[in-house]
Amino acid sequence: MTEWKTSVSSSGKDAEVRGEKLEDVIDMDFSDAIFLILKGERPDEDESEMFNTILSSCIDHGVGNPSTVAARTVQSGGNSMNTSVAAGISALGDKHGGAIEECMELLQSDKTVEKIVGEKMEKDDKIPGLGHKVYEHEDPRSRKMLEKAESLGLKGELTEKMLEIQRVFEEEKVGLVLNVDGAIAGIMSDLGFEPELGKGFFIIARTPGLVAHVREEMDEEDFRREDGEYIGDK
């Protein structure tokens, strides 16, 4: 049998996670352990505080978003906790939590701010990390994260690049809020995380909220149904 080679962890009585003994990982704060397993190194004190803030900022955002609607609707059909939560996670896409990855790719690219904004405007594409359906003037989650990054000395050049994208786009077209995806993308890029983990951050952070919603839905009347009106072909 071929042994599975991986840098993430080992199994057995001497199990390790990213080179750390599992028994030592057990003593870590949960957010620090997440940082370790994703990046391969322990966070320092400031990185730990920042990462914990990022995860907490995304834990929930009401009932009306696609992931929560999906999770609760599937639960109302008589499914299990894992099936319902998985449905919610599956609803996380490019327009709901998934913009972090594309935003990190842009920030970590060699493209200038002007080129990023210009290309997006030429294609009439949305700029990931800007705009929100609820917040018109400011996303309080982004503000809190940027304030924390500033106070900890972790607000680096890639976070500033995201803010510059916001400023240039406002000058060229319209002012949009820096949303939570944009703030996370900038800060996590400055912390040295790769773009491929972008969706993963949001999945990890939002899952506890989905679990809570699914548990509450278990006590509701089965089979949610919304009224609909037939309007014919348009």
The domain tally of the chain equals 1
Please give the model's pTM, rounded to 2 decimal places: 0.90
* Any domain includes 229: no
Whether pLDDT at 11 is above 90: no
CATH code: domain of residue 166: 1.10.230.10
Q: Is residue 227 part of a domain?
A: no
pLDDT average, residue stretch 158-167: 97
Please compute the mean of the pLDDT values over residues 98-102 and round it to a whole number: 91
DSSP 139-196: -HHHHHHHHHHHHHT---HHHHHHHHHHHHHHHHT----B-HHHHHHHHHHHTT--GG
pLDDT band at 93 (very low <50, low <70, confident <90, very high): confident
Q: Is residue 2 part of a domain?
A: no
Please provide the average confidence, as pLDDT, over all residues in the chain. Answer: 93
Q: Which residues constitute the domain of residue 141? A: 19-217
CA distances 147 to 151, 166, 187, Å, are 6, 17, 11
State the pLDDT at residue 107. 97
* CA–CA gap between residue 214 and residue 60 (Å, rounded): 13
* Percent of the chain topping pLDDT 70: 99
Q: What is the mean pLDDT of residues 25-29?
A: 95
What was the pLDDT predicted at 227? Answer: 83
Is residue 130 domain-resident?
yes
CB 68 within 8 A of CB 210: yes
Please report whether residue 3 resides in a domain.
no
pLDDT in tens, 32-51: 999 999 999 999 999 999 99
Question: Per the domain annotation, does 14 fall within a domain?
Answer: no
Evaluate whether residue 6 is within a structural domain. Answer: no
- Rounded Cα distance, 31 and 13, in Å: 24
Q: Are 201 and 188 in contact (CB under 8 A)?
A: yes
pLDDT of residue 95: 82
Q: Report pLDDT for 13.
A: 84
Judge contact between 88 and 96, C-beta under 8 A: no
Between residues 189 and 135, the one the model is more confident about: 189
Interatomic CA distance for residues 49 and 65, integer angstroms: 27
Q: Beta strands 20-21 and 16-17: pairing type?
A: antiparallel
Does residue 3 carry a pLDDT above 80? no
pLDDT at residue 1, rounded to an integer:
61
Asked if the structure places residue 232 within a domain, the reply is no
